[in-house]
Amino acid sequence: MTDTETPERPALAYHHTPGTGPTVVFLCGYGSDMQGTKALHLEAWAKASGRAFLRFDYAGCGQSEGSFEDETLATWRDDALRMIDMLEGPVVLVGSSMGGWVMLLAARERPDRVAGLVGIAAAPDFTDWGFTMDQKMALLQHGRFEKPSDYSGQPTVTTRAFWASGEANRMMVRAIEFDGPVRLLQGQKDKEVPWQRAGVLAELFRSDAVQTVLVKDGDHRLSRDEDLALLVRALEDVIALCSLPSS
């Protein structure tokens, strides 16, 4: 399916599985698309369990319209908000890598809609800690840089506009005002996101219903069978807590 309700923005490709709520919305990582292992595994789980689920491609990614280098963290946040606003009822956001940053931004913008969060190697604020000084200088001088990707035959491109948008939307500089259940899954052999950041992020949530799960031999993707099983358990745990009556 394609979202065409926002003519000033590129149309977004998405797949929606109807079912019981809250709707689970999968948020991809930087340069990824909705055809990834985790998104498809959760879709299969949703169909088998009768759970509402949505996966989509940010503008400029996968099957969505637009140019990748024209987009920023803020525009991809707005894409996530478009998807949330298209749905009915509460949602649980599952954010992978950069999707974990988008997840936090979307939860801040839609506090009445987002009921729970699951982060997979969540990477909020990576424009602050994920770039070397040489890379930052290349962005300032040339407006973009490329680096080899471990997950694709094509290099990963970062633009100055994306970096500036990330710096303007950092989340780990203050308390995160979210009161729902949160699960953070983090591999300790992750070469992209230092595993210690998961604990720091957990401490920032106002909610007490936060758990960090460290996978000692887990990498950044956390896409092995045992990782996917852990992801489903974490998601089911969050959904169950979302269903509890408020005290």
SS3 assignment, position 52: strand
DSSP state of 245: P
Q: Which residues are catalytic?
A: 97, 190, 220
pLDDT given at position 2: 64
Query: Which single residue is written with the structure tokens 């140019």?
Result: 67
Amino acid 247: pLDDT: 42
What pLDDT is recorded for position 150?
72
pLDDT in tens, 16-49: 999 998 999 999 999 999 999 999 999 999 999 9
Query: From CA 190, how far away is CA 148, in angstroms rounded?
Result: 17
- C-alpha 189/C-alpha 194 separation (Å) is 8
CATH, domain range 2-129+171-241: 3.40.50.1820
pLDDT surpassing 70 at residue 3: no
Residue 161 tokens, joined:
């506009």
Which range is least confidently modeled, 84-98, 146-160, 176-190, 205-219?
146-160
What 8-state DSSP symbol labels residue 70?
Answer: G
Average pLDDT, the chain: 94
Q: Which two tokens stand for residue 185?
A: 């899954």
